[in-house]
Amino acid sequence: MIIIKVLGSGCNNCVRVAANAHQAVEMLGVEAVVEKVTDYNEIHKYPILATPGLVINEKLVSAGRIPEPAEIAGWLKV
């Protein structure tokens, strides 16, 4: 099971990242959970300077931008 975390306050950009992550999961047909992390103490456990952030299996793969579903799918395949 893949664990995907969207780091941020819950703003529109964070919502878009979560939606793109869901699309990537559907495109690949993999088993994954997408979690929204809004607690700043939890967010600061990752080396992130800007939100939204995207973490896949505890590895920060994106910060401060909105990756497209195809890009997220590429990270999920690795």
Q: Which residue has the tokens 């878009």?
A: 16
Question: 55-78, pLDDT tens digit by residue?
Answer: 999 999 999 999 999 999 999 987
CB 9 within 8 A of CB 52: no
Question: 15-50, pLDDT tens digit by residue?
Answer: 999 999 999 999 999 999 999 999 999 999 999 999
* Nearest-angstrom CA–CA distance, 48 and 65: 12
Domain boundaries, the chain: 1-51
Residue 31 half-sphere exposure toward CB, CA atoms < 13 A: 1
Q: Which residue has the tokens 């047909």?
A: 29
Tell me if residue 16 falls in helix, strand or coil: helix
The residues that are catalytic are 11, 14
